[in-house]
Amino acid sequence: MSTENDLDHYTQTMMPSWGRPLAAFERGEGSRVWDVDGVEYLDFLGGIAVNVLGHAHPVFVDAVSRQAATLAHVSNYFTTPPQLALVDRLLRLSGGDRVFLANSGTEANEAALKLAKLTGRPRILALEKAFHGRSTGALALTGKPALREPFEPLLGGIEHLELSIEALEAAIGDDVAALIVEPIQGEAGVIPLPEGYLRAARELTQKHGALLIVDEIQTGAGRTGAWFAFQHEGIEPDAMTLAKGIGGGFPIGALVTFHGAGDLFRPGQHGTTFGGNALASAVADAVLGEVENAGLVENAAARGAELAQRVLALGSPLVTGVRGRGLLLGIELAAPVANEIRAAAHRHGLIVNAPADDVVRLAPALNIGDEELAVFLERFGAALAEVAATAPAPAADATHAATGTTASTPTPTGAPA
């Protein structure tokens, strides 16, 4: 086993839809992972906002092993105690009234899309730059032209709006079935909705009888310092989609509905073989139970604010700000060097990613503490210094150093004060 052999093996045998992997990992523990050559990394990407408990957490391991040894799958002709326990927990935490269980975020959004279709109205509104998945339905909701174009024509009736309340006011009408939004656009580069957008969206959708669907696939499960990001705004949507963090690494997705919206489905109108099976349900219920019992939603809020401040305090001329909320953060850069920083971080034993040319994303486990933060800052600081030494000088007004504002560290955009 060696990294180069494994990466060659992958590229020769897997479809080239992803490109060559960046590493071959063998095992993990907490926020650490080791590659097949035994090299250790600090994981601050968390499988893209998935591993809320980190790697190989005893609660996760116990839930998988115990349920696998008890009952894994019986089909959706039947229910099981873990399925009912998970559904009860999701409803209690969210305030929703019905759940559909799926296997991924894409499938949760497909279910939401079919729900919207059942209103009988012809138009669905989504946002520019949105990411909702890659099946043809979820891709039709996705607002990234480069991802859509090879597969067009996609499902019709979907419009992508500019990210402003004015654009929503202008577009919405009584013929709109639903508006779907991410509270923070993770794949677009950790872009929070503008201040007041979600509240305005709630009022406008209510006024026109349209469904408000929030895609909390990346923001849910406590990541932003609330169980679900819509809860920061004091509103309730009609539907919410979940995946990623709720399984802590086990594949699962969910559509949660509110105010009776889920009753639009009639028996036989939607289904999936695996969705909500006993194994996935038991694991998700245990993962969310640990997030709850260990106070990890509060930890995400506190550690996220601390992390944002301390990244700014590194004083790198490449860093112009930090946006996002809780432990979903985007480090804003003065130049399009996000991929260089990601690669340098990797060489220094740190995993982060670059969702846009000028943004580095952090989405670590929600149980990080002092030690993980210290190691992150040391390794990330080294990566920044390495890239700053080779990158072309950023525009004079784009950096704290150049403008002399490093002394007064700015508040991270969208982070709790």
Among all residues, which ones are annotated catalytic? 131, 215, 244
The helix (run of H) or strand (run of E) holding residue 199 is helix 197-208
Q: Judged by CB under 6 A, how many residues of this single chain contact ligand PLP?
A: 15
Closest CA to 33 of 364, 294, 299: 364
Nearer to ligand PLP (CB atom), residue 105 or residue 412: 105
Cα 156 to chain centroid, rounded: 26
Q: Which of 6, 35, 43, 215 binds ligand PLP (CB under 6 A)?
A: 215
Smallest separation, CB 243 to ligand PLP (Å): 4
Q: How far is the CB of 102 from ligand PLP (least distance, A)?
A: 9
285 and 80 Cβ atoms separated by less than 8 Å: no
Of residues 147 and 375, the one with the C-beta less far from ligand PLP: 147
Measure the CA–CA gap between 155 and 295, rounded to whole angstroms. 42
- Cβ-based nearer residue to ligand PLP, 237 or 317: 237
- Any contact of residue 182 with ligand PLP (CB under 6 A)? yes
Give me the torsion for CA of 34, 36, 38, 44, rounded to 10°: -20
Q: Does the protein bind ligand PLP through residue 406 (CB under 6 A)?
A: no
Exactly one of 55, 117, 132, 148 binds ligand PLP (CB under 6 A); that residue is 132
d(CA 205, CA 176): 9
Contacts (CB under 6 A) with ligand PLP, residues 43-62: 48
SS3 content of the chain, % helix, strand, coil (to 5): 40, 20, 40
Q: Which stretch binds ligand PLP (CB under 6 A): 32-40, 67-75, 179-187, 385-393?
A: 179-187
Structure token digits, residue 359: 């943004």
Burial class from Cβ neighbours inside 10 Å (0-12, 13-18, 19+) for residue 85 reads middle
Q: Which is nearer to ligand PLP, 240 or 368 (CB)?
A: 240
Nearer to ligand PLP, 6 or 43 (CB): 43
Q: Which CA distances in Å does 409 have to 255, 315, 400?
A: 40, 9, 9
The answer to whether 187 contacts ligand PLP (rule: CB under 6 A) is: yes
Q: Does 96 bind ligand PLP (CB under 6 A)?
A: no
Q: Applying CB under 6 A, which residues contact ligand PLP?
A: 48, 104-106, 109, 131-133, 182, 186-187, 215, 217-218, 243
